[in-house]
Chain A
Amino acid sequence: MRISLTRPLVLYPVSIVLGLGVWEALAQVMPRALFAPPSAVLGRLAAMTGDGSLPTALLGSVQHMLVGYLLAALLAIPVGIIVGRSTAIATAVEPILNAVYAIPPVALVPFFMIWFGLYFEGRVALVFAMCFFEILINVLQGVRNIDRGLLDAARSLDLTGLALYRKVVIPAASPFIFTGLRVGIGRAVNAMITAELFFSAVYLGQMLKTSSNAFDIASTFAVIFVVSLFGLACQEAMRLAERVVIPWHHESTA
């Protein structure tokens, strides 16, 4: 546990520094109108954090992202378990699931606007649509992937009903559930900014639009970078949660 905790702490900064080096090198060959070097971006980042505009915007953005993500997770996990456990339901919904999943959610924005409006509800709907399927498919696969022998053993121990789910199905499927939650939260962060760009521009999306309208590439990159960092933080939080809930999943790499 000790080693694996310290390793990312040592390696992540090394990785970030190396990555910034590559970025700086790229900035030397890319046209200035399109690509800002990390030094300029970090400068803008400091200024935008200093005057409070960036934290305020991030706080606003997090609202629809969290609501959309929680709704998606709360719906996708039980639905995934139910569908995954029942061959009949799975057979019936699978074609529709695959069909709808292929549509780019952005292409649905015009319809979401009509159904949910241009503001908060519309943004929440897009976040939901952009992370629901990723969570669902992982949960579904996790439940289906449970070894038949394990379930037979559980049945021979007279585990039925909710107890079967609590003691066998959910623990056995949990690595997949966590993968889904992690992939899902990454998608939700992506959706957060997408929603602000495609619906009425607010918060970080507004900042992104304003800076890009002014052809201020450093500020544009600064906002994108903050969103990416926030996405990284969210995913790391999910990894931490996973480590606490299913420790063996983590220890295998140590």
Chain B
Amino acid sequence: MKKIAFVLIALLLVSGYAFASGSAETAAASDPNTVKVGLLCIGDENDQGYTYNFIRGRDEATEMLKADGINVEWVTKFNIGEDATCTDANIEAAEEGCQIIINNSYGFEPFMLEVVDEYPEIEFISCTNCASAFDGRDNTHNAFANIYEGRYIAGVVAGLKLQQMIDEGTIAPEEAVIGYVGAYSFAEVISGFTAYFLGARSVCPSVTMKVSFVGSWSDATAESDAALALADQGCVMISQHSDNTTPATAAQSRGVFHTGYNNDMTGVAPEASLISTRIDWAIYFYEAIKAYVNGEEIPQDWCKGMADGAVVMTALNEAIAAPGTAEKVAEIEAGLADGSIQVFDTSTFTVGGEELTHAFALDTDGDFTADSEEAVYDGAFHESVFQSAPYFTVQIDGIEWLNAAY
């Protein structure tokens, strides 16, 4: 019995020591120029896509804020699910002293909103979703960027390449088919590929597009399979709205071209990938955190575009892009900035053979169908004006949905 008692006492001592040595609990920062920010991510930076883009934004914003004398202490949590683990992660970040908590994925928002009333002094941000801005709470916010502008330009780059191939006789005009790997038939995706298609058609009138939905935001194998299938169906240009780089490598393996999203993909597919577009989250993180430290309100619904640097293009792959692409891109960027080019110009597309004259932007009664705020006026559909999250869900002529199941 003595032995047992000894062992028990020893265990108790060790566990007491462990308990004490773990007491590095950090209290909320007392220095007014230091702010603790939580960043909850759906993946990790190894995706080289979606989450990686947020981590890049985080690190850039940290540098920009440091130059202003503001220190940011980040608590970054990876691989959070779009489920109740997200609720728990928000509680955890709040309890660990974060003053601002950023949720990086669309599906996090409903789970985040379960927590926000418990912590009225903490600012919660849901990127890419749309309920926080309108929920009447002061401490919940949405943010997105006009990514459709970047997609439009990526489409122009693709269209110029296709037109070059037509002019050189590599393909017939009707063979200029784009294959698009989309995650779900979701507003953000529909808005993105429509902008991309309109960009391509603005410089290559004969282009058509096929869209394949993979039913996941991030499934490297499914994205690759979809890209290969599209190439086998005659698509000579692949683009994507999904998180991985596998569509780029799939395009290269089939000898077709590609434009990407979230990250420069010329590294993994130098012979296929022309250009990518991405959101530069550093712009938002900088503004939001700076506002918080200065005691100002973080905007309820933040949305900026290319003119403010919130949407950027990655370096053009000059080796394979059509001649004159860089000049054309610069011209379009200027046109988007001064408003002379509208991405969803209703004179450039038809729906069921007719011009689009009416579409609502917002859902106010919670039935998930838009019912207020006319988005079509002044000859264009105005995307991301009434809320930051995209709301263009119209199926336009020229784009074929291969599978609408997702």
A and B found bound together? no
Interface, chain B (partner A; CB < 8 A): none
Binding site for B on A (CB under 8 A): none
